[in-house]
Amino acid sequence: MTTDIQNYLNDFDQLQTNDWFAKNRQSALNLFKETGFPNTRQENWKYTDVRPIARKSFSNINDQKTTVSPDNVNAIRFTDLDCIELVFINGIYSVEHSRINELPMNVVVENLADALATDNKLLEKHLSQYADNKISPFTALNTAFIQHGTYINVPDNVVIERPINLLFLSKENPSPFATHPRNLIIMGNHAQTTIIESYIGLDEANYFTNAVTEISLSENAILKHYKIQQESQRAYHIGNLNVMQNKDSKLESHSIALGGSLVRNDIHGQLADEGAEIIMNGLYMTNDKQHVDNHTRVDHLKPHTFSTENYRGVLNGNSRAVFNGKVVVHPQAQKIEAHQNNANLLLSDDAEIDTKPELEIYADDVKCSHGATVGQLDQDMLFYLRSRAIDEETARSLLTYAFADEVISKITLPEIKQRLEYLVVGQLPDAALIREFTNE
C-alpha cells in the first residue's frame, strides 16, 4: 500500500503551510500514513473496494487557472432561489462566481482558507473537533489537506432566511486531480439556517472529491442540510458529514446521490444532550457500473433523543449500492426513540444491493425499530396502470418515480424539490411523459 499513498505524501510536502493548524495537518497525515487506504477486510468497508482510488495518482495541488464561464455556473445554480452562494472550482474558492451579500449582523460566511489565515479562536475551538480522523483514513487525508471550503458561523438567536448554497464544481483538467473540501458550520443557541452542498461534475471530468463537513449545533439550533451529489460519471466521491448536537437542537439531513462512479457517503450524528433530534433522508439512484455506498451512524448519548432515518435506492444496470445504518444507544440513554428504514428497488438482474441496518442498544427504556426491504415494482399497481391504457414502460417509470418521490416529497424547500424531481425523472425512461403526468 505504501506506493499508493506516496503521491499524497509528496504533495503534502509541497503544501508548505505555516498557520496555526499546521501541527494538526501533520498529525492527520501521519495517521493516514499509518493506516493507508481501507480495504474490504475491514467491516466498515466490506462492500466497497477503494482500490480504484488508491491506485490512481491524483494531483492534490490545484493551480487556480481552471476557469468556468458565468454561463456555465448560471446553468447550474438555483436561478430562481434567492440564496447566499459560494462557488468552488476544482476545489478552489472562486470570488468571481460567489455571491455573499446582505448577511445578517455578525454572521460569518467565508472561504475556510481565508479564515485559517487569520487568528481565529472560535475556529481553533471547533475545527477538526467533530470529524474523527481515526474513523476514516479519508477524513485524516482531508484534514491533512485542509485549505478551501466553507466556514459558517451563525451566532445566537440569528435566523438566516436565505439558504446558503455551496457549489463545488469540477471540470476536466489535463491530469486527474483530487480536492479535499472542508466545511465547518457552527450554529449558536436558537440559530436557524438552511445549507445546500452541491457537488457537480462538468463534462466527463476525471477526479476525486474527498469532502468533510463538520457541524456543531448549540441549544435549540435548527439546521436543514441538503447534499446533492451529481459528480461526473468518471468521478470518485467520498463524503463525510459529522454533526454534534446539543440540547433540543435539530438536524434535518437530505442526501441525494445521483452521480459518480465510486461513491461513499458517511453521516455521523451525535445526539449529545436531551431533546436533540436528527432526521436522515436519503435517495440513491444508480445505473451502469456505478457503486454507491451510504453509511450512517447515530449515537444516542443522552436520554430523550430522537432519530428517524429513511433511505431509498433505485438500482439499474450493472450498478451496486450499499447501505449501512447504525444506531447506537449508549448506557443510560433512556426514553429515546430511533426508527430506521431502508427500501430498495432492484430493476436489473445485474445490479446488487447490500444492506445492513444495525441496532446496538445498551439501555432498556427505548423504542427502536428498523426495517430493510429489497424488491420489485408491485405487480398489482402495474396491472392497475396497464388496465388504464398506460404502456408497460411508462407504468414502470411512473411507479419508480413514485418510489423515489417518498424521499423527495419530504424536502420542504420548493426550489430544491422541483429540481430534484426534475433530475430523478430525467433518469427514467419516458421522462417527458412522466412529467406530463406529474406536473399538473
Partner 1 sequence: MSTNTENVEDLVRKEYEHGFVTDIDTDTVPPGLNEDIITFISRKKEEPEWLLEWRLKAYRQWLKMEDPTWAHLDIEHIDYQAISYYSAPKSKDDAPKSLDEVDPKLLETYEKLGIPLQEQKMLAGVAVDAVFDSVSVATTFKEKLADAGVIFCSFSEAVKDHPDLVKKYLGSVVPAADNFFAALNSAVFTDGSFCYIPKGVRCPMELSTYFRINASNTGQFERTLIVADEASHVSYLEGCTAPMRDENQLHAAVVELVALEDAEIKYSTVQNWYPGDENGVGGIYNFVTKRGDCRGNNSRISWTQVETGSAITWKYPSCILKGNNSIGEFYSVAVTNNHQQADTGTKMIHLGKNTRSTIISKGISARHAQNAYRGLVKISKNADNARNYTQCDSLLMGDQCGAHTFPYIEAKNSSATVEHEATTSKIGEDQLFYCMQRGIAEEDAVNMIVNGFCKEVFKELPMEFAVEAQKLLGVTLEGAVG
| Residues engaged in binding partner 1 (CB under 8 A) | 43, 331-332, 334, 344, 346-349, 351-376
Residue 51 C-beta: closest distance to partner 1, Å: 20
CA distances to 88, 276, 323 from 160, rounded to whole Å, are 22, 21, 33
Residue 48 C-beta: closest distance to partner 1, Å: 13
- Cβ closest to partner 1, residue 33 vs residue 370: 370
The residues near 82 (Cβ < 8 Å, ≥ 6 apart) are 162
Cell 447504525 belongs to residue = 326
- Helix (H) or strand (E) holding 296, with range, is strand 291-300
- Cβ closest to partner 1, residue 125 vs residue 367: 367
Signed CA dihedral, 132, 263, 232, 401: sign only: negative
Residue 359 C-beta: closest distance to partner 1, Å: 4
- Cβ closest to partner 1, residue 67 vs residue 369: 369
User: 329 is written with which cell numbers?
Assistant: 444507544
Write the single-letter amino acid at 340.
Answer: Q
Residue 290 C-beta: closest distance to partner 1, Å: 16
- Cβ closest to partner 1, residue 375 vs residue 414: 375
Residue 361 C-beta: closest distance to partner 1, Å: 5
Taking Cα atoms as reference points, which of 324, 217, 316, 320 lies closest to residue 273? Answer: 217
Write the single-letter amino acid at 345.
Answer: L
Cα 394 to chain centroid distance, Å, stands at 31
- Cβ closest to partner 1, residue 154 vs residue 347: 347
- Cβ closest to partner 1, residue 163 vs residue 303: 303
Residue 109 C-beta: closest distance to partner 1, Å: 41
Give helix 2-15 / helix 137-144 axis angle, nearest 10°: 20
In whole angstroms, give the CA distance from residue 300 to residue 279.
13
Q: Exposure string (b/e) for 180-206, b if CB count within 10 Å is 16 or more?
A: bbbbbbbbbbbbbbbbbbbbbbbeebb
- Cβ closest to partner 1, residue 129 vs residue 373: 373
Residue 116 C-beta: closest distance to partner 1, Å: 41
